[in-house]
Amino acid sequence: MKRRKFVQNLLAAPAVAPLAAQTQTQQQRPSTQPNTPARQDPRQPHEIAQLAVTEVDLVSATHPYFFTADQFSALQKLAAVLVPPLKGKPGAIDAHAPEFLDFLISVSPEERQSLYRNGLEGLNRAAQDQFHTNFHGLEAKQVDTIIRPLLIARYWPQDMPDDPMKHFMAQVHDDLRTATANSREWAENGPAPFTGRRRRFNRGRGMYWRPVDPVVRG
């Protein structure tokens, strides 16, 4: 609902200015209907009726294009295993986390892109070497054989290990959890967050700062 209201405000904004300007012009002439001060005051654009618009994720899906088919299938498998549905809350697959991460990584710095691509390739390679199939085709126990040695304990999220595969596993695990906990699907399934101390976003809502008087460059 909030998203809808935000979009409503965004769409209403450009319509207000011309209307307000028109009203100002009309005020220079005698009016036969002077008893509508709210509409004549450009400082009160909220008086103008807003139209209902629909949240984009309710009518369309993210189109993944960044990862190759093999890489993306490995990411989907990881998502299902690392963040499954629990206690009535959606898992990463339900939250479309792999599709979102495909987008997020596509607009990320090259270093992050390489980390992901090499990491997913590494999982597929390990699956082929050990079980003669790609990562997506593994049984849960086989997946565990590959990923458990790659998991590490750390204090700060940014304290990443030097080993590239362990680094990838720590990063993708964090990202899948965040993408899941911050999804619309998660928010619609009640307020209970993941437990965990660093849950800045996991509560779902926060005070958002709009750009303050941004510089518009031509």
Partner 1 sequence: MAIKQHDVLIVGSGHSGGMAAKILTEKGISCLMLNAGPEADLQRDRTMKSAHELPYRGFGQPGRLPHVFQANEFNANQWVDEKENPYTHPPEAPYNWVRVRLLGGRSLFWARQSFRLSDYEFKPAEIDGTGDNWPISLADLAPYYSRVEQIFRVSGRKEGWPQFPDGDFTDSSFPPDTESIKRFTEVATKKGIRVSKWRFAQGRDGLASSINLLLPDALATGKLDIVENAIVREITVDKNTGLANGAYFLDRHSGREMHVKARVIVLAAGCLETTRLLLNSGICNSSGVMGHYLVDQMYGVSVVASIPEARDGKAPENLMGGSAFMPRFRNLSKKDKRDFIKGYCLHVSSGGDASQHFFPLYGEELQSKLDSYAGSCVSAGIFGERVPRYENHVRINKDVKDAWGIPVLHIEARDSENELNLRRDAANTAEELFHDAGWEVICKTDQVNPPGYSIHEVGTCRMGDNPKTSVLNKWSQAHDMKNLVVVDGASFVTAGWQNPTMTILSLSMRASEHLGDEMRQGSV
Could you tell me which stretch among 21-29, 37-45, 69-77, 195-203 binds partner 1 (CB under 8 A)? 195-203
**Residue closer to partner 1, measured from CB, 134 or 189:** 189
Could you tell me which stretch among 13-21, 24-32, 114-122, 167-175 binds partner 1 (CB under 8 A)? 167-175
The helix (run of H) or strand (run of E) holding residue 69 is: helix 69-82
Q: Is 28 in the site for partner 1 (CB under 8 A)?
A: no
Helices (H), 83-163: 97-106, 110-131, 140-147
Q: Structure tokens of 24?
A: 């100002």
Give the three-state DSSP class for 86: strand
Q: Is 184 in the site for partner 1 (CB under 8 A)?
A: yes
Chain positions 37 to 66 lying near partner 1, rule: CB under 8 A, are 57
The owner of tokens 């967050």 is 193
Q: Is 147 in the site for partner 1 (CB under 8 A)?
A: yes
Tell me the angle at which helices 69-82 and 140-147 cross, rounded to the nearest 10 degrees: 100
Q: Is 125 in the site for partner 1 (CB under 8 A)?
A: no
Tell me the angle at which helices 110-131 and 140-147 cross, rounded to the nearest 10 degrees: 120
Contact 99, 199 (CB under 8 A): no
Q: Is 190 in the site for partner 1 (CB under 8 A)?
A: no
In the complex, the smallest distance separating the C-beta of residue 131 from partner 1, rounded to whole angstroms, is 19
| Of the candidate residues 16, 84, 117, 134, the single one contacting partner 1 (CB under 8 A) | 84
Q: Is 145 in the site for partner 1 (CB under 8 A)?
A: no
Q: Is 196 in the site for partner 1 (CB under 8 A)?
A: yes
Interface residues toward partner 1, by CB under 8 A: 2-3, 6, 57, 81-84, 86-87, 100, 104, 107-109, 112, 147-148, 151-159, 170, 173-175, 177-179, 181-184, 186-187, 194-198, 200-201, 204-213, 215-216
